[in-house]
A and B are shown apart, each in its own frame.
Chain A
């Protein structure tokens, strides 16, 4: 029996880390967004998407609520709000 040799690519998505959030989650205000994509680049989970201005959102199933997207936003267009 050779058994469990490998894990499948990208299979960690089965693990919904959104349950880790205890205090706050990001709210995308979609008012002053300039689509600089800094939030996309800086998110440790890699779960923020969007293309044009005021279109960005995140996948709360994985968001751990760290708040770096709000910290990095040059237009203060992401706010951390109580759960």
Chain B
């Protein structure tokens, strides 16, 4: 069997982007790592008693408190004099991060705990059946932001979590994507080499919630980056380092594979709005390799 700290037999949907990212993260972190996991798909599909996929010490408490639990784990390790040799990761989904968990994350950042926080961003509450979260993108169709005769779906842009994290003055913030697996692992290793609080937000397609074919997970993730809709960058001690895009694609290339954006495809105005978001990202983060 393959050497990994995240074993198969878990019950993630076929093609689950979060399962891919979770394994990449923990394998990059290595066995001297403790994980505090928030409630969500990942916790549910990887720890159904009496089985567990995890090869590292792992604890789940509640939906919104993984960063506070991780703070306590870090404090315990400090008391034991073991913190220098052991990584602590707090991880949760986008709802557990940007919505219900935000206060506890802010507390953890502000207190300066030596913890890496990983947000698996599949852009809605998938575990409960695709409800809108603070990280659901503009005009996405979810079960609580449905498109209809008077609505085009989620009316609001994604909450700027990486900037919120960076505003705490923490040493390292990054976004990443399942479309770039080596980049995820590089960033996890880099983050863990830095003392203090770190934040990595990983774009993880959800075939069920985004309504794309399960074989498209990798391609969809990559297209989100190539269109500029999911900018990949680092804030290294506050300094922006973007991942440049060599051939920027129009947003339709990304949207057309996903049921959650299907209602936009016959609406040129809506596509224009989505393109404007991508264009703004490209400008804001300096994503274009040719400019």
A binds B: yes
CA distance A23 to B18 in the complex (A): 23
Contact of B19 among A9, A38, A44, A59 (CB under 8 A): A44
Residues A13 and B8 in contact, CB atoms below 8 Å apart? yes
Contact-residue size bin, chain A (C-beta under 8 Å from the other chain) = 35 or more
Q: Is A42 an interface residue (CB 8 A)?
A: yes
| 208-223 of chain B: CB within 8 A of chain A | 213-219
Contact of A70 among B14, B207, B215 (CB under 8 A): B215
Residues B14 and A62 in contact, CB atoms below 8 Å apart? no
Q: Mark B49-70, 1 if CB is under 8 A from A, else 0.
A: 1111111100000000000000
Residues A68 and B2 in contact, CB atoms below 8 Å apart? no
20 extra interchain contacts, Cβ-Cβ under 8 A, other than A11-B7, A38-B181, A68-B20?
A4-B49, A7-B47, A9-B52, A10-B52, A11-B50, A12-B7, A12-B48, A13-B1, A13-B7, A17-B8, A17-B9, A17-B10, A40-B2, A42-B20, A44-B217, A46-B23, A47-B1, A66-B15, A71-B216, A71-B217
Q: Is A2 an interface residue (CB 8 A)?
A: no
Contact of B218 among A4, A10, A68 (CB under 8 A): A68
Q: Mark A2-38, 1 if CB is under 8 A from B, else 0.
A: 0010011111111111001000000000000000001
Residues A45 and B55 in contact, CB atoms below 8 Å apart? no
Shortest CB-to-CB span from A16 to chain B, Å, is 7
Residues B8 and A45 in contact, CB atoms below 8 Å apart? yes
Measured between beta carbons, the chain A residues less than 8 angstroms from B216 are 71
Question: How many A-B pairs with Cβ below 8 Å?
Answer: 115
Which chain A residue has the least Cβ–Cβ distance from B178? A42
Q: Which 6 A-B pairs have the closest CB atoms?
A: A67-B215, A12-B9, A66-B15, A7-B52, A15-B9, A64-B14
Q: Is B246 an interface residue (CB 8 A)?
A: no
CA distance A14 to B50 in the complex (A): 10
Contact of B50 among A4, A13, A62 (CB under 8 A): A4
Measured between beta carbons, the chain B residues less than 8 angstroms from A11 are 7, 50-52
Residues A12 and B8 in contact, CB atoms below 8 Å apart? yes
Q: Is B275 an interface residue (CB 8 A)?
A: no
Which chain A residue has the least Cβ–Cβ distance from B221? A42
Measured between beta carbons, the chain A residues less than 8 angstroms from B219 are 71
Q: Is B75 an interface residue (CB 8 A)?
A: no
Contact of A49 among B2, B207, B215 (CB under 8 A): B2
Measured between beta carbons, the chain B residues less than 8 angstroms from A49 are 1-2
CA distance A81 to B42 in the complex (A): 29
Residues B14 and A80 in contact, CB atoms below 8 Å apart? no
